[in-house]
Amino acid sequence: VESINTKRFSTQVVESISAEDIGKLPDTSIAESIARLPGLTAQRLDGRASRVSVRGFSENESATTFNGREQVSIGDNRGVEFDLYPSEIMSGVTVYKTPSASIEAEGIAGVIDMQTVKP
């Protein structure tokens, strides 16, 4: 219900998955859960989802934030390895597919915003 309301009341084109939805899925990493959202695809490495692309663009064309902070890559591109994040620590993920002044401007394809559970 939370992810539906996020999408419903947003002024942008967004896709969202909440902790409730993540808990219902048998995914081990957040990359698997994000790849289930419409318009997102995962690149698989050794059978598990690793990097995520938005709207068919490469992972270099999207930005990723973790609790509002921009994430950097360990490689020579902007792609984030989402399989490093366990799905149990996430309270939700929102993917912004259209630009807005309130989010990072680097994401041409979109911005993936991951939020952790607050202790």
pLDDT digits (tens, 9 = 90+) for 30-77: 888 998 999 999 888 888 888 898 998 988 888 899 998 888 777 777
Q: Helices H, strands E: what count in the chain? A: 3, 7
Instruction: Please compute the mean of the pLDDT values over residues 109-118 and round it to a whole number.
Output: 91
For the cut 90, the answer to whether the pLDDT of residue 107 exceeds it is no
pTM, to two decimals: 0.87
CATH match of 2-116 with 2.60.40.1930: no
Strands of the 62-66 sheet, one edge to the other: 14-18, 90-96, 110-116, 62-66, 69-70
Residue 104 is predicted with a pLDDT of: 65
Q: H helices of 10-108, where?
A: 19-24, 30-34
Sorted by where each begins, the domain ranges of the chain are: 2-116
